[in-house]
Structure 1
Amino acid sequence: MKIQKVYTTTDVHVAGEAFRIIHNVPLIHYQSLEQLYEKFPQMYEVEKNLLLNEPRGFAGLNGCLVLPPISPEADAAVLFFNHEGTVPVHYGGIVAVITALLECGHLQTNETSEYKIETLTGVISVTAIVEQEEVVSVRLESDPCHVIQQDVQLAHSRLNTKFSLVQADQVYAVFEKRNLPVEIRVEDLSELKSWACTVFQALDSEAQVQAAILLDDSALDVGRIKSITFREDQFIVRSPGFGPTFACYTSLLAKGALRSEQGLVNESIFESRLAAKVAEQTENVYQFTVTSRGFITGLQTFVLDPTDPLAAGFLLK
C-alpha cells in the first residue's frame, strides 16, 4: 500500500443521523468562513469524496470541518457539507461537533455550560451538559422560521395533494399523510421512496424547495408527530431532522393545529426522536429550542492510496 494522504475523523450520530468530523485537512488561506465556503468545492473535492462516499462512507453521511474560530466570541468554527456540496448550517451537526470537542478534550468544559459555535450563518449558542466526562444533553435555538405559502397544489396527474412551503434552515415542502395509503415505517420504505420520486418530479417548478417532508400528525393530541424527510437528491434524512422538526412545528402552528405553549416530539421512521418547543414568537415567525445529544461511534484514520481504483468512492441509493 502506498500512502499519499492521511486523515483522522470522529464519527458521531445524533438521533440516528451520522456525522463525520474531520480534524486534519490540507491548509488553505482564507479570511472568512464565507470565503472558505466558496473555495471548498474545488479545494476539498478529494477529501469530500474520500471521506463521505462509499466504501469509506455512505449515502447518508454528513461532513463537518472543524476550524479555529474567526469570531473572537466563538469557541470553534465549523463548515458543514454533504455529498452535494457545502451546507450553510446543520443543527444536528452542531450537536455532533460540540459533543466530539468536549468528550475528546479538544474544548475545555466551563462552569456555565454555554458554548458558541461559528457557522456560515453566524455564531450559534449551545448549552452542553457534561456529566462524568460525557455530554448528556445539548440544547440550542433555531433561527426564525415561517410559512412562505400554505395549501400549495402539487401539479401532478398521479398525486392530488397540497403542501406548505416553510422556511426553516432551508425551504421545505411539508405534506400531510392523511390521504396517503401508506405508513411511515421501514416496511413501507419502497412505497415512500416512490412517493418522494413523484413529488420531486412535480416540484421541478418549485425551484426553491430543498427537501420534502411527509408528516403524520395522527398523534398530535398527545404532542407527537412522525415524519420522514427526503433531500433534493432523494436521500432520506437519517433522523427526525432538526430543520424538518422546526418546519413541521411551524406548519402546524400556522394552521392552528397546535398552540405555541405546547411542546412537540418528532419521531423518525427509525423511531429516533427529537423534542422541541417554542422559544419565541413574533406574529407568524417562530424560533424553537431543541434538546438532543450525540454519541461518538468511532475514532478513525483514513488513508488515500494513489493506486486505489475507488479513491473517489461511489454512492448507492
Structure 2
Amino acid sequence: MRSVRTLSIVGCHAEGEVGDVIIGGVLDVPGKTMYDKLVHFQTKDDQIRQLVLNEPRGRASMNTNLLLPPCNPLADAGFLILESEEYAPMSGSNTICTATVLLETGIIPMKEPITRLNLDTAAGLVGVTAECSGGKCKYVAFDNVPSFVSALDIPIEVPGLGTISVDVAWGGMWYAIVDASSIGLKVENQYGPQLVEVGQRIKRAVQAQYTPIHPENPSIRGVSILSITEPLEEGPGYKTAKNTVVVSPGRFDRSPCGTGTSARLAVLHARGQIKEGEMFRHRSIIDTEFETHIRGTTKVGKYDAVLPTVKGRAWITSYKQVVLDPEDPYPNGFRVGDQWHVSIDP
C-alpha cells in the first residue's frame, strides 16, 4: 500500500467519549516541556491532528491522543491531546483512555490489582492509579492538576440572550460554566441543538469580554470550552449533578468531562457547596459517570486551588492503521456542515 504517512492507532472511549491513542508513526519533537511539544505541533506540524480528526478518517465527536517520550523525569510516558479545534493542555477522558491503552497493550507493564504511573501532560504531571484484573483496567483514577476559580458570577452580554451569569474556572482547560436554568434549558438530548447553539454563542461572548490567564503559564489564556450544569443534588453518602460540555466547533462531550468536573469542583468548593474529601458523582448527557473528590487544597499564584481526583472507565474499541495515499486530494481532511456545527453569528 502506498502511503506518505502511516499511523498506528488504538481506538478507545472513556464513558462514551472517544479518545483514540496514536502509539506509532510519529517521531518525538524538540521541547523542554510537554507544553513546548504542544506548541511545536500546533505551529509546525498540525497536519497530523487534521488528518486523524477531520473527515474522512475522523468525525466531529472524537479526540486523539499522541504518545510521546515524557519531559518530566518522574513520568512514565507523555502524551498530547488533539481535539477538533485545539490542543487541550489536559483532558480527563483522554487521560483515562491513554492510561488504559498503555496498560492493556503492554506498553507499560500492568500490575494487578493496582498499577500506578505518572503521565506528563502539557498542563503538568498527572498521577494515575489503575484498578486492574484479568488484564483489564477496571477503573482509572487520576490526580489532576490544581484547579481554581478565576471569577464567579461574571455578567456576560450575549446578543439575543441578554446578560448571562458565568463562572470561569481552570480544571486543566479554561472553562465557562453556566447554569442550564439561566438559559431556559435542561441537560437532556431533546434540547441538544439549542444547548449547542446557545453554548457556542455564550462561549464566544465570554471570549470577547473576559480573558483568564494561567498564572504559571501566561500562554494558556482564554476560555475554549463551556459547561452547562444542572443543580447539585444530595445522594446517600455523596453529592451528584449532571452537566454537558460544549466542545468546539459545537458538539457535546459524551463523558462527564474530567477537566470540566475539576473546574466545577473548584467552583463548588469556592461557594462552600462541597468539602475536601466529600464524594461527588458527575453525570454526562448520556448518564455516564465520573466519581470524584477533592483530595486537598493548595495555591496557584494568587488563587486558592483544589486538588481533584477523578475516576472513570475506558474500553479499547479497535486496532487500526491510518494512512495517507500520496494522491489523496484531502491530506488535511475536510468538514461538512451537516455534522460539523457552525454557530450562527450572534
Q: TM-score, normalised by structure 2?
A: 0.84
Q: Which residue of 2 aligns with 1:129?
A: 131
Q: Aligned pair in 2 of structure 1 residues 202, 28: CA closer, same or farther (>3 Å)?
A: closer
CA contact (8 A) 1:240 1:274 kept: yes
Offset at residue 106 of structure 1 (A): 1.4
CA distance in 1, matches of 2:98, 2:144: 16
Gaps of 5+ in 2: 212-221, 342-346
Q: Residues 258-269 of structure 1: matches in 2 within 5 Å?
A: 258-269=274-285
Question: What is the aligned counterpart of 2:180 among 174, 177, 181?
Answer: 177
Q: 1:39 to 1:194 in 2, by over 3 A?
A: closer
- Helix, strand or coil: the match of 1:146? strand
Question: How far apart are 1:109 and its partner, in Å?
Answer: 2.0
Post-superposition Cα deviations, 1:34-65, rounded to whole Å, max 9, x if no partner, equal 44223213543332222111111111221211
Does the 8 A contact of 1:2 with 1:307 survive in 2? no
Deviates more, 1:78-87 or 1:48-57: 78-87
2:118 alignment partner AA: K
| In 2: Cα distance, 1:257 partner to 1:116 partner | 30
**What does the per-residue CA deviation read over 1:48-84, in whole Å, with 9 as the maximum and x for residues that have no partner?**
2221111111112212111233444322111222222
Conserved? CA contact 2:93–2:255, under 8 Å: no
* Paired position in structure 2 for 1:195: 198
Letter of the aligned partner of 2:324 in structure 1? L
Contact 2:187–2:244 (CA under 8 A) maintained in structure 1: yes
Deviations 1:211-264 (A, max 9, x none): 2211101x5122111111123533322211001111222212222233444311
Per the TM alignment, residue 88 of structure 1 is displaced from its structure 2 partner at its CA by: 2.0
Residue 165 of structure 2 is aligned to residue 151 of structure 1: no
- Partner SS, residue 209 of structure 1: coil
Q: Please tell me whether the aligned partners of residues 200 and 232 of structure 1 are also in contact (alpha carbons under 8 angstroms).
A: no
Quickly say closer, same or farther: Cα 1:253–1:35, change in 2 above 3 A.
Answer: closer
Deviation at 1:29, TM superposition (A): 4.8
Deviations 1:143-179 (A, max 9, x none): 2222221121121352333121212212211111233
Matches for 1:34-49 after TM superposition, within 5 Å = 34-49=35-50
Runs of 4+ in 1 over 4 A off after TM superposition: none
Matched, 1:221 2:234: yes
Counterpart residue identity of residue 22, structure 1: I
1:300 aligns with 2:320: yes
The answer to whether structure 1 residue 209 and structure 2 residue 212 are counterparts is no
Shift of 1:135: 0.6
Task: Quote the Cα distance in structure 1 between the aligned partners of 2:167 and 2:31.
Answer: 39
In the alignment, is the contact (CA less than 8 A) between 2:203 and 2:224 conserved in 1?
Answer: no
Q: TM-score, normalised by structure 1?
A: 0.91
Contact kept? 2:12, 2:314, Cα under 8 Å: yes
- Superposition RMSD in Å: 2.2
Aligned to 2:8: 8
Task: Give 1:28 deviation, angstroms.
Answer: 5.2
Distance 1:39 1:161 in 2: 37
Alpha-carbon distance in 2 for matches of 1:194, 1:38: 30
Whole-Å Cα distance in 2 between the matches of residues 134 and 298 of structure 1?
A: 15
2-structure distance, mates of 1:251, 1:42: 33
> Any conservation in 2 of the 1:65–1:79 contact (CA below 8 Å)?
yes
**What does the per-residue CA deviation read over 1:127-155, in whole Å, with 9 as the maximum and x for residues that have no partner?**
11210000111111122222221121121
CA–CA separation in structure 1 for the residues paired with 2:42 and 2:298:
37
Counterpart Cα distance in 2 of 1:170 and 1:124: 14
Cα deviations across residues 158-207 of structure 1 (Å, max 9, x unaligned)? Answer: 23331212122122111112333322111111221232133134222224
Report if aligned partners of 1:64, 1:80 keep a CA contact under 8 Å in 2: yes
The answer to whether the Cα contact below 8 Å between 1:15 and 1:273 also exists between their aligned partners in 2 is yes
For 1:90-129, what per-residue CA distance to the aligned partner results, in whole angstroms no more than 9, with x for missing partners? 2322211111111111111246621111223333211112
